Structure 1
Amino acid sequence: MTVRSVRTRIRSSLVTAGALAGALVIVGCSDVSKDKDPETREFALQGRELTIDSDDSALDVVAADVEDVRVTRWFDGHAVVGDAEVSWRMVDGKRLELRVKCEGVVTSCDASHRVEVPRKVAVTVDNEDGRVNATGFGTALKIRSQDGRIVVKDASGPLDVESKDGSFEAVGVASRDIRAHVRDGRVRLALTEVPDRIDVRSKDGSMEIGLPEAAYKVDADAQDGSVEVDVERDASSPHVVSAVSQDGRIRVHTV
């Protein structure tokens, strides 16, 4: 084989590789999903309980005057040599699954869902990554979040919240029974009605609990942080407040 033929083969190989790389980029860039305009779908619900199972999405969950579960979603994503897509389905009429798939060499996905739930339905939210806002619930509300801020507004039913990484805020809440365990993040409660029981735990983050005027049995302990209790205290009160923080300031006051 001559030197010239070897050079020709090398040059041809390089051109072929470049063409293939270019083809891959073109194919990858064509796998683009831009759903900036929202899409809405309704799902039939069986019974009075709903679990929302979501990942990698911001959630707005609202108690509304609807008969079925109404979901509106926004999605903007792309993947180079991969997948960028969303899916939704109701399982057994009780479990709403919201999924975001964003896999590839270079990916970018942004998803959010608004879930309108019939009133008088108890709701459990299990979200792996993304903020959760819940508004207007008079029924039991349970929220579990792996990573993301949780905000609850205008709720009056029992409230049970767990967050591994993200703050928790409850505003305009009339719930008589509140449990909130936050691993890493600030906790802020502003109540409009006198509660029967509040149980708040935080490993790393400050804690502020605003209560209506009344006498409370308060147990507040911060291992590394100050404690300020500015409500009337009565060891025999049926209104019990327990606030424990490993690392962060605790403030319990009248609003």
Structure 2
Amino acid sequence: MEIRKHALLVFGGVALLASTAIGCTTDGDLANAAVESKSFEFSGDSLTVKSNSADLELVAADVEDIRVERQASGAKVGSDIESGWRLAGNTLTLSLDCTGVSINCKAKYTVKVPRDVAVTAENNKGLIRATGFTADFSAKADDSDVQLSDLSGAHLDLEGGDGSIEGDGISVKSVTVTSRNGDNKLSLDSVPDLVDVRSKDGNVRLSLPDATYAVETAAKKGDVAVDVMKDETSDHVVRIHTRNGDIAIGRGTAS
């Protein structure tokens, strides 16, 4: 990506290069940034998507290949904002380099994937958003939020760091969540065989369809409210553990 140099700005004796990049905006507004796109031939049944610092949106679509769009904004002093995309085997790597002195450096990748492909998403410092998948889905976010909707695979496996996890319209057989610092809110549309949430510091809100559940809860510092029918012999198991936070298990839409 080429950068045209426009002016040399001096603040307190420190010289900063003000620049604009082709395909980028410098005001941090991704909505106005140019959209670049690329397609990757793909024939696998599982895909791992790794992103670093950029927001990541995964969309199940009626496609046969992997289609990626990216938008970048901001500027770096002395060099381009570097963003990249590469598919090697079943791993799609998406990158954004904001190291050094940068201004409003950010990017967003939108990835369209065949609906029945099992997806594993990993993002170090950026949002993970996913919708529409009918196969297994897993996500690992370090310092950002996870937002999910309309997932109907067999297994949903989530790992959160310092950010919230939200899921709506979830119809899966098993859900496992491991969370460090952040609230967890999940709304399930179908009766699960297993929901297992382990949180260190954060509230857990779980909405379930009407059924009988074997419920196990533990909160070291927090309130616990359970509003579903309980039976310890039920085949539908719900385990919610949190160290510091409230637990609420109810029927209908999570609030």
Query: TM-score, with normalisation over the residues of structure 2?
Result: 0.87
Deviation at 1:108, TM superposition (A): 3.0
SS in 1 for 2:18: helix
SS in 2 for 1:222: strand
Distance in 2, Cα, partners of 1:151 & 1:108: 23
Deviation at 1:83, TM superposition (A): 3.8
Distance in 2, Cα, partners of 1:106 & 1:90: 27
- Segments of 5+ residues of structure 1 without an aligned counterpart are 1-18
Name 2:99's counterpart in structure 1: 103
Mapping 1:48-67, distance limit 5 Å? 48-67=45-64
Mapping 1:175-194, distance limit 5 Å? 175-194=172-191
| Percent of aligned pairs sharing the same letter | 38
Distance in 2, Cα, partners of 1:30 & 1:215: 61
- Higher alpha-carbon Rg: 1
Mapping 1:1-255, distance limit 5 Å? 28-30=17-19, 32-33=21-22, 34=24, 36-92=33-89, 94-157=90-153, 158-255=155-252
SS in 2 for 1:139: coil
- Segments of 5+ residues of structure 2 without an aligned counterpart are 1-7, 26-32
Distance in 2, Cα, partners of 1:246 & 1:78: 42
Distance in 1, Cα, partners of 2:161 & 2:15: 38
Checking the alignment, whether the CA contact within 8 Å between 1:185 and 1:205 is kept in structure 2 is: yes
Q: 1:91 is aligned with what amino acid? A: A
Q: 1:198 is aligned with what amino acid? A: V
Partner deviation per Cα, 1:160-213 (whole Å, 9 max, x = no partner): 000111100110111110001110000111111000000001101111111000
Checking the alignment, whether the CA contact within 8 Å between 1:217 and 1:239 is kept in structure 2 is: yes
Number of residues of Structure 1 aligned to a counterpart in Structure 2: 233
Structure with greater strand percent = 2
SS in 2 for 1:104: coil
Deviation at 1:31, TM superposition (A): 6.3
Distance in 2, Cα, partners of 1:165 & 1:190: 21
Q: 1:241 is aligned with what amino acid? A: V
Checking the alignment, whether the CA contact within 8 Å between 1:82 and 1:105 is kept in structure 2 is: no
CA RMSD of aligned residues (A): 1.9
Structure with greater helix percent = 1
Deviation at 1:81, TM superposition (A): 2.4
Moved over 2 A (4+): 28-33, 103-108
Q: 2:128 is aligned with what amino acid? A: V
Distance in 2, Cα, partners of 1:191 & 1:105: 44
Checking the alignment, whether the CA contact within 8 Å between 2:74 and 2:102 is kept in structure 1 is: no
Checking the alignment, whether the CA contact within 8 Å between 1:31 and 1:80 is kept in structure 2 is: no
